[in-house]
Amino acid sequence: MDRQIRRVGIGFVLLFALLFGQLTYVQVVAADRIANDPANAARQIIAEYKVERGVILTRDGVVLAESVPAEEGSALLFDRDYPQGALYGHITGYYSRIFGRSGLEDAMNEELSGEAPELAIQNLSDLILGRPREGASIVVTIDHDLQTAAADALGNLPGGVAAIDPNTGDILALVSNPSFDPLEISTGTDRAIRRAWKRLTDAEDRPLISRATDELFPPGSSFKIVTASAALENGFGIDSTWPNPHRLALPQTTNQLRNFADVHCNGGSATITLLEGFVESCNVTFGQVALEVGAREMAEQARAFGFCPTFPPTQTDCLEETIPFVLEFETGRFPDPAYFADQQPLLAFSGVGLDNDLTNPLMQALVAGAVANEGTMMQPRLVTTVLDPQGRPVREYGVEQFSQPISDETARALTEMMRQVVSRGTAFSAFADSPCRDLVAGKTGTATGVESEAPHAWFTAFAPAGPGQRQIAVAVIVENGGGDTEATGGAVAAPIARAVIEAYLGGCVRE
Amino acid sequence: MSATVEEREPRVSTGLALLLLAVLISVLAYALAFLGLRGTLPKELRVYAVLYMAGSIAAWLVIRWTARRADPVLFPLAAVLGGLGLAMIYRIMVGRGEPSFADEQALWLLVGVGVFILTLVLIRDDRQLDGFTYTIGLAGLGLLLLPLAPGIGFEENGARLWVRFGSLAFQPAEFGRILIVIFLASYLSGKRELLAEGIGRFGLPRVKDLGPLLLAWGASLAVLFFERDMGASFLLFGVFVVMLWIASGRVGYLVLGVVLFAVGATLGYLVFSHVQARVDIWLHALEPATVLDQGYGQLAQSWFALATGGLVGTGLGQGSPTLIPLTASDFIFSAFAEELGMLGGAALLLLYVALIGRGLRIGLERMDGFGKLLAVGITTALALQVFVIVGGVTRLIPLTGVPLPLVSYGGTSRVATFVMLALLVRVSAGPWQRKAT
């Protein structure tokens, strides 16, 4: 009997050895693979929410996103809070345990969740001392007062505003309407989060998409800044004269290019200067300029400003990285020269920002910024600093130059042309009573997308024109003119840009 | 077999020191679980510690009083397993916001200790039980099949295991199994010489000696087919085959037992969709269709818990074991392995290895066949139960839901295990043969 009992013992030892083996396999050998299985999302998220995620701050110290201790009984240690709500929805993005991340929450996740290499020592000491891990905080370039002013100025109109510092590329304000409150899809019960998500994704006006950076619209006449640059860079002066027909007859077709509201520019005179065509925003003039400069030069100029070459209708996506940016950014589009080879009339339309030209407010602000910054275009910068949990900077993002699309001389000529748009041209009435009037250089745009819809109203500007310490470049779009079929860039978009400029320059009181 | 009874008495201090260590670990686990979960110590920590200490000391004094020469390690092992289990049940139930369920289990633990004491007081010599072979056997069979009785038996989670008298519901099979083990120890020790006879060089049992084997097989199949309880069925049959082999010394019984088990398992697989489902889940646990299916995903969740825990675990109260359905009962081992890691899970298993080792040693040391078979039978029942559930939740074998002895949620199982341990303590008190080496 005893012999059997000993054998039973050996048998049990073998059975338990199998258990130890299996435990070692699941918990050590294959642990990473199993734990990272997508079906283990619940645990992965709970692990993420164990970290006291870092804060997102504006340059003036306003908290945009922070982690707060979760309510009693929650499976999570921390909840994400967005004290400024929808005002910064597209900048912070959301941090949803069900629907993932967007915006800076996504782009800077490694830093915010404390996984950045600079925090390795901090993490180790937290682990040893049993403290919850803390993420790094990030400082963004946004000026909170300006962001508020821009959002107030845009009001309930659908559209977007981008304001940058032309000398550094710093984003000062970035507003898109309609927006969303990231809190709704980040924190709360699963049911509430799902309901909010469904409402936001089902909404026809797509509030989750930023009109300032993600969407593309025809630029209309605001693109004439690029066309004028091409002319100036290719030997045509500000006073170069152009024939001034009522309508421009186009090669290869019976179609004609008309001026806005079908007017005859410059009082119906026989010729018109480049300056006058710009100030009055003459399509006839700029159609001729584009045709005269040529497809290759136009495309090269657009590319130098960061517009991505496309080949419609087969290839409309951008296949190369043009302007780097921390958030999702659709840079502008301009067709490849080959596109115009056997359709010359379209080059005239492209010269006035129609056909397949596309852009958005951030893109336009960068273009205006290049003019303001003596021809040098800066990379847009949103994040300046990563701070460790004690508030010490551990990483800085420097100011980077993107390109030199135009010469200093061209920039000065364009500045003069854009000043006159404000002082006596299409933006005159918007700035007539502004103390900033003499300092602002701008260009209006009224872009017809679909015939049946009201046109998009654009204004692209910078101030102060000429040397100044504190400059701002701003671009505004009011989508479909806010529903007003009579809307123009000068009437609808320019007053919004004016409010932003005045807010930034403190009412333009000279010292 | 020489029947020299050796007088020996374990050192008092050894047992007491182990017991105090067991209480310390138990109370510490309870405190740490709350600290991990809530960040604060539980308000009732002192009451808990005092009650745990008082219950343990009471049981220890009764062992000293009624079974002076008993094994000193068994009860401390029971105390630490029960304490760890209760700490984890509190952690899970508080995590779910249902602490009253844990209070109920604390009460059952006290009842278990009470029944442990009662068993030791009532049964002063285990050989008392040897006199009622068939009465105990019939009573055991009756309890096994009681849930089938109309009116009082009822089904839960697809298995007919429960009996209700008024407001009290329990699983009679847990106690039935103990009676069957006592019966087998009694029956087999009496029939040893007969069973040891065999035919031919392979020592196959004679046809007329196959009776008990086939009867036990039949009873196990009845449990499987009519109560649809795979776990209980396997445990019953496994314990029987091991005891029969030990009693007879014939490997033929073991081989035949394995063959009959294979036949029974195949039958079960062919007849029952829920047996097929278990095997299916086992084979395809991590495939998306299985994971997403409500309930079927529990094995995947268990694996996720283990893998997330890794080598050292998340810390008590800091994992997410409540994501696994049935965490506190079938999957409590996964909760330990998640929060204490592979090292903690292995440590828990080692406590059982120690318990099993002591149980087999008690069997070796006993002089008489009945005592030997009773000790080894109880030990085998516990060992197989641990293997089946831990193997199940770690996906070593298809999952069959049985409680992890002394640790899992469940009143009947807890009390029944204390009865088994009381019997083991009683058997360990002698009479012994020459000290086994």
> What's the rounded mean pLDDT across residues A137-161?
96
The per-residue pLDDT for range B91-142, each reduced to its tens digit, is 999 888 888 899 999 999 999 999 999 999 999 888 889 888 889 988 988 8
For residues A80 and A65, the answer to whether their CB atoms sit within 8 Å is: yes
| Residue A158, pLDDT above cutoff 50 | yes
CB contact B390 to A (< 8 Å): yes
At B5 the pLDDT is 46
For residues A332 and A363, the answer to whether their CB atoms sit within 8 Å is: yes
The per-residue pLDDT for range B263-279, each reduced to its tens digit, is 888 988 898 888 888 88
CB contact A127 to B (< 8 Å): no
Distance CA A209, CA A489 (A): 22
pLDDT class of B210 with cuts at 50, 70, 90? low
> What's the rounded mean pLDDT across residues A360-366?
97
**Phi, psi for B185 (deg, rounded to 5):** -60, -40
> What's the rounded mean pLDDT across residues B71-79?
94
Please say if A113 is a catalytic residue: no
At A423 the pLDDT is 95
A383 membership: H or E segment, kind and range: strand A383-387
Question: Is A361 part of any domain?
Answer: yes
DSSP letters along B30-91, please?
A: HHHHHHHHHSS--TTHHHHHHHHHHHHHHHHHHHHHH-TTS-SSHHHHHHHHHHHHHHHHHH
Q: Which residues of B touch A3 (CB under 8 A)?
A: 249
CB contact B296 to A (< 8 Å): no
CB contact B286 to A (< 8 Å): yes
**Closest in B306, B396, B436 to A27, CB measured:** B306
Hey, what are B238's tokens?
Answer: 């496994």
Hey, what are A435's tokens?
Answer: 């103390």
| Residue B436, pLDDT above cutoff 60 | no
At B4 the pLDDT is 44
What count of Cα atoms within 13 Å lies in the side-chain half-sphere of residue A427?
Answer: 35
Chain A contacts in chain B segment 45-104 (CB below 8 A): 97
| Residue A376, pLDDT above cutoff 90 | yes
CB contact A37 to B (< 8 Å): yes
Distance CA A136, CA A114 (A): 6
The per-residue pLDDT for range A208-225, each reduced to its tens digit, is 999 999 999 999 999 999
A145 membership: H or E segment, kind and range: helix A144-154
In chain B, where the domains are located: 1-122+272-437
> What's the rounded mean pLDDT across residues A461-471?
86
Distance CA B345, CA B333 (A): 7
B249/A16 touch (CB, cutoff 8 Å), yes or no: no
For residues A474 and A146, the answer to whether their CB atoms sit within 8 Å is: no
pLDDT class of B202 with cuts at 50, 70, 90? low
pLDDT class of B3 with cuts at 50, 70, 90? very low
Q: Can you give the pTM of this predicted structure?
A: 0.66
At B293 the pLDDT is 65
CB contact A42 to B (< 8 Å): yes
Taking alpha carbons only, the member of A330, A431, A329, A411 closest to residue A367 is A411
DSSP letters along A426-492, please?
A: TTHHHHTT-TTGGG-EEEEEEE--STTSPPEEEEEEEESSSS-SS-EEEEEEEGGGGG-TT--IIII
Chain A contacts in chain B segment 329-348 (CB below 8 A): 337, 341-342, 345-346
For residues B357 and A9, the answer to whether their CB atoms sit within 8 Å is: yes
Q: What is the ipTM for the molecules in this complex?
A: 0.92
Q: How far is A27 from chain B (nearest CA, A)?
A: 4
pLDDT class of B1 with cuts at 50, 70, 90? very low
| Residue A180, pLDDT above cutoff 50 | yes
| Residue B431, pLDDT above cutoff 90 | no
Q: How many domains does chain A have?
A: 1
Q: Which residues of B touch A9 (CB under 8 A)?
A: 356-357, 360
Question: Is A44 part of any domain?
Answer: no
Lowest mean pLDDT among A110-124, A215-229, B346-360, B417-431: A110-124
pLDDT class of A277 with cuts at 50, 70, 90? very high
Question: Is A194 part of any domain?
Answer: no
Domain that holds residue A255: 220-382+403-508
At B207 the pLDDT is 66
> What's the rounded mean pLDDT across residues B27-43?
89
Q: Average pLDDT, whole number, for chain B?
A: 86
Percent of the residues in chain B that have a pLDDT greater than 90, as a whole number: 44
3-state SS assignment for residue B298:
helix
Lowest mean pLDDT among A196-205, A394-403, B225-234: B225-234
pLDDT class of B434 with cuts at 50, 70, 90? low
Question: Is A252 part of any domain?
Answer: yes
CATH number for the domain including A270? 3.40.710.10
Taking alpha carbons only, the member of B85, A190, B26 closest to residue B93 is B85
> What's the rounded mean pLDDT across residues A339-348?
90
Helix axes B332-365, B411-428, angle to 10 degrees: 20
Q: Which residues of A touch B292 (CB under 8 A)?
A: 39
Q: Which residue of A has its CA nearest to B392?
A: A19
Q: What share of chain B is helix, strand, coil (3-state, %, to 5)?
A: 70, 5, 25
Q: Which residues of B touch A23 (CB under 8 A)?
A: 306, 337, 342, 345-346, 349, 394
Encoded amino acid at A246, one letter: H
A19/B249 touch (CB, cutoff 8 Å), yes or no: no
Q: How far is A31 from chain B (nearest CA, A)?
A: 4
Q: B9 or A221: whose pLDDT is higher?
A: A221
**Closest in B300, B311, B323 to A27, CB measured:** B311
| Residue A99, pLDDT above cutoff 50 | yes
Q: Where are the alpha helices (DSSP H) in A215-269?
A: 224-233
At B145 the pLDDT is 84
| Residue B281, pLDDT above cutoff 60 | yes
**Closest in A15, A27, A50 to B342, CB measured:** A27
**Closest in B292, B337, B349 to A16, CB measured:** B349
Question: Is A351 part of any domain?
Answer: yes
| Residue A102, pLDDT above cutoff 70 | yes
Q: Average pLDDT, whole number, for chain A?
A: 91
Hey, what are B85's tokens?
Answer: 């289990």
The per-residue pLDDT for range A30-57, each reduced to its tens digit, is 998 888 887 777 787 777 777 889 999 9
Q: A104 or A451: whose pLDDT is higher?
A: A104
3-state SS assignment for residue A175:
strand
pLDDT class of A448 with cuts at 50, 70, 90? confident
At B2 the pLDDT is 41
Q: How many contacts does A have with B, using Cβ atoms within 8 A? A: 123
Hey, what are A213's tokens?
Answer: 């950076």
| Residue A350, pLDDT above cutoff 90 | yes
Taking alpha carbons only, the member of B432, B402, B433, B378 closest to residue B119 is B378
CB contact A68 to B (< 8 Å): no
> What's the rounded mean pLDDT across residues A14-39?
91
Q: How far is B310 from chain A (nearest CA, A)?
A: 4
A277 membership: H or E segment, kind and range: helix A274-280
At B437 the pLDDT is 44
Q: Which residue of B has its CA nearest to A31?
A: B307
Q: Which residues of B touch A33 (CB under 8 A)?
A: 307
At A235 the pLDDT is 94
Q: B124 or A226: whose pLDDT is higher?
A: A226
- Backbone conformation region of residue B272, classed left if phi is above 0, alpha if psi is from -120 to 50, else beta: beta
